C-alpha cells in the first residue's frame, strides 16, 4: 500500500493537494482537499484493465466552477430541509435556501466547497478535517468535522466520519460520488443492476420534500429488494418518478440499528464490476443523475449527460429536523457524531 501527495491546483493563491492511495491490486483512489472529494477510483474490470468508475471533473477549475457535488463530502446537513427552517430546543433556525430560493440543499454547499486540511495516516488512509464556524449558512455551532478515507488490500474503501459541536445542532454528512461502474464516459447507467436493502422509502412532493410517509416499495418501481436493472422501471408512469424526474429518493435501510449494514449492491453489465455499500446510517439516496443534461463537460471533455452516473448517498432521511420520530440528526454540545460507510468492489 502507498499514499502519495501532489499539488492538484491553485485556488486564490493556495495550493490544493491531491492524494493517491494504491493497493497491491493496482486499485487507485484519488482524493482532493477541495470538498474532501473522492475524485477518481481506478479499478480492474473483468479483463484486467484499470478503469475509473467515478464521474466528475479532471481539473480544479471544473470542480469549483462547474461542480454539481461530484465526489464531495456534503454537510452540515446533506440533502434537503423544507423552507430551510428547523428548531432545536425551541429556537428556530433559518439556513441558506440554495435550491430555487425555497429549500436548503446540501447545507448550502458549505462543506463541499471548502478546502479541507489533510493528513496522511499510515500507508493506506487520508484524514480530512474542517472547522465550520458557528452560524455558517445559518447552522448552529462551531463544528469540527473529519472524514477518513481508508483503502484495504481487498478493495474496500471505508469512509469514517466524525463531528462535534459546541452548541446543540443538526448534522448529516455524506459523500456525493457519481458512479458509473462501466467507467466514466461509457454511456448511461440504466443497464447496471441495483439491489437496495429497503422495504420502505420516503416519498416526496413536487419540490422533492418528503411528505412524511414511509411508503412500502412493494409493487412499485421503488422495489429494489431483488436486483433489477436501474432502467427497468425508471420510465414507469408513477407520480414519484415524476416528482423526482427519475430516482432521487431516500430508501429506509432494513433492520437499521446503527451498526454496519448492507444497504445496496450495484453491478455493471459491461465491466463486471460490483459495488456493495454498507453503512451505519438509516438511509440511502438513490439519485440517477436526473439533472445532468449534457451542458457540462466532465472528465476527458465528455459531456455529463442525463443518467451517465448514479449516486448512493448514505444519510439520515431528508428533512429529518422536521420529523422528530425519524432516526435523529440532533447532537448535544460536545456529543460526538460518528458514522461509517464502506464501498466494497469486486468482479463478478
Ligand atoms: C442530491 C439531490 C438531487 C440533486 C443532487 C445534486 O442527490 O437529491 O436532487 O440535487 O444532489 O444535483
In this predicted model, what pLDDT tens digit does every residue of 117-163 receive, in sequence order? 999 999 999 999 999 999 999 999 999 999 999 999 999 999 999 99
**Averaged pLDDT for residues 168-194:** 98
249 CA distance to ligand 1 middle (Å): 9
Instruction: Tell me, rounded to whole angstroms, the distance of Cα 343 from its chain centroid.
Output: 11
The confidence score (pLDDT) of residue 225 equals 98
How far apart (Å, rounded) are the C-alpha atoms in residues 170 and 2? 36
Closest-CA residue to 44 (of 300, 311, 348, 312): 348
The confidence score (pLDDT) of residue 88 equals 98
> What ligand 1 atom has the least distance to the C-alpha of 69?
6
Instruction: Give the tens place of pLDDT for each residue, 49-71.
Output: 999 999 999 999 999 999 999 99
- CB contact at 8 A, 161 and 173: yes
Closest-CA residue to 122 (of 150, 89, 80): 150
How far apart (Å, rounded) are the C-alpha atoms in residues 225 and 331? 32
Q: pTM value?
A: 0.98
Tell me what the pLDDT averaged over the chain comes to: 98
70 CA distance to ligand 1 middle (Å): 10
Closest-CA residue to 299 (of 18, 59, 131): 59
Dig out the grid coordinates for 292 from the structure.
Answer: 445532468
Instruction: Give the tens place of pLDDT for each residue, 219-257.
Output: 999 999 999 999 999 999 999 999 999 999 999 999 999
Say which residue the cell 443538526 belongs to: 170
Active site residues: 176, 313
Closest-CA residue to 263 (of 279, 286, 247): 279
Instruction: Give the tens place of pLDDT for each residue, 80-112.
Output: 999 999 999 999 999 999 999 999 999 999 999
Three-state SS for 348?
Answer: coil
Pocket of ligand 1 (CB under 6 A): 68-69, 79, 105, 208, 248, 285, 287, 291, 311, 313
- Residues with Cβ within 8 Å of 65's Cβ and at least 6 positions away in sequence, in order, are none
105 CA distance to ligand 1 middle (Å): 8
Q: How confident is the model at residue 172 (pLDDT cuts 50, 70, 90)?
A: very high
Angle at 253 between CA 128 and CA 220, to 5 degrees: 130
- Residues with Cβ within 8 Å of 115's Cβ and at least 6 positions away in sequence, in order, are 11, 14, 16, 33, 34
Pocket test for ligand 1, best of 291, 292, 307, 308 (most atoms within 8 A of CB): 291
Pocket test for ligand 1, best of 105, 111, 178 (most atoms within 8 A of CB): 105
Amino acid at each position: 500500500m502507498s499514499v502519495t501527495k501532489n499539488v492538484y491546483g491553485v485556488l486564490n493563491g493556495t495550493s490544493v493537494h491531491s492524494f493517491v492511495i494504491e493497493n497491491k491490486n493496482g486499485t487507485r483512489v484519488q482524493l482532493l482537499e477541495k470538498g474532501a472529494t473522492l475524485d477518481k477510483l481506478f479499478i480492474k474490470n473483468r479483463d484486467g484493465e484499470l478503469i475509473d468508475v467515478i464521474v466528475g471533473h479532471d481539473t480544479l477549475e471544473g470542480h469549483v466552477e462547474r461542480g454539481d457535488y461530484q465526489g464531495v463530502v456534503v454537510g452540515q446537513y446533506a440533502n434537503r430541509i423544507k423552507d430551510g427552517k428547523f428548531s432545536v430546543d425551541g429556537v428556530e433556525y433559518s439556513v441558506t435556501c440554495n435550491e430555487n430560493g425555497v429549500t436548503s440543499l446540501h447545507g448550502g454547499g458549505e462543506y463541499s466547497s471548502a478546502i479541507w486540511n489533510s493528513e496522511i495516516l499510515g500507508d493506506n488512509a487520508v484524514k480530512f478535517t474542517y472547522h465550520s464556524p458557528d452560524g455558517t449558512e445559518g447552522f448552529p455551532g462551531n463544528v469540527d468535522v473529519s472524514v477518513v478515507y481508508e483503502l484495504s488490500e481487498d478493495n474496500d474503501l471505508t469512509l469514517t466520519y466524525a463531528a462535534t459541536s459546541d452548541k446543540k445542532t443538526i448534522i448529516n454528512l455524506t459523500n456525493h460520488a457519481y458512479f458509473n461502474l462501466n467507467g466514466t464516459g461509457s454511456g448511461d447507467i440504466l443497464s447496471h443492476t441495483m439491489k437496495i436493502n429497503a422495504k420502505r422509502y420516503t416519498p416526496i412532493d413536487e419540490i422533492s420534500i418528503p411528505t412524511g410517509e414511509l411508503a412500502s416499495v412493494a409493487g412499485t418501481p421503488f422495489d429494489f429488494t431483488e436486483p433489477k436493472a436501474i432502467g427497468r422501471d425508471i420510465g414507469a408512469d408513477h407520480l414519484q418518478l415524476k416528482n423526482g424526474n427519475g430516482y432521487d429518493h431516500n430508501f429506509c435501510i432494513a433492520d437499521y440499528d446503527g451498526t454496519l449494514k448492507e444497504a445496496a449492491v450495484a453491478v455493471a453489465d459491461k465491466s463486471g464490476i460490483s459495488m456493495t455499500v454498507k453503512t451505519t446510517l438509516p438511509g440511502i439516496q438513490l439519485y440517477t443523475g436526473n439533472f445532468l443534461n449534457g451542458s457540462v463537460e466532465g472528465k476527458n471533455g465528455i459531456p455529463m449527460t442525463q443518467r451517465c452516473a448514479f449516486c448512493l448517498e448514505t444519510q439520515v432521511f431528508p428533512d429529518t429536523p422536521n420529523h422528530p420520530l425519524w432516526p435523529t440528526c440532533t447532537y448535544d454540545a460536545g456529543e460526538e457524531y460518528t458514522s461509517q460507510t464502506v464501498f466494497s468492489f469486486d468482479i463478478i
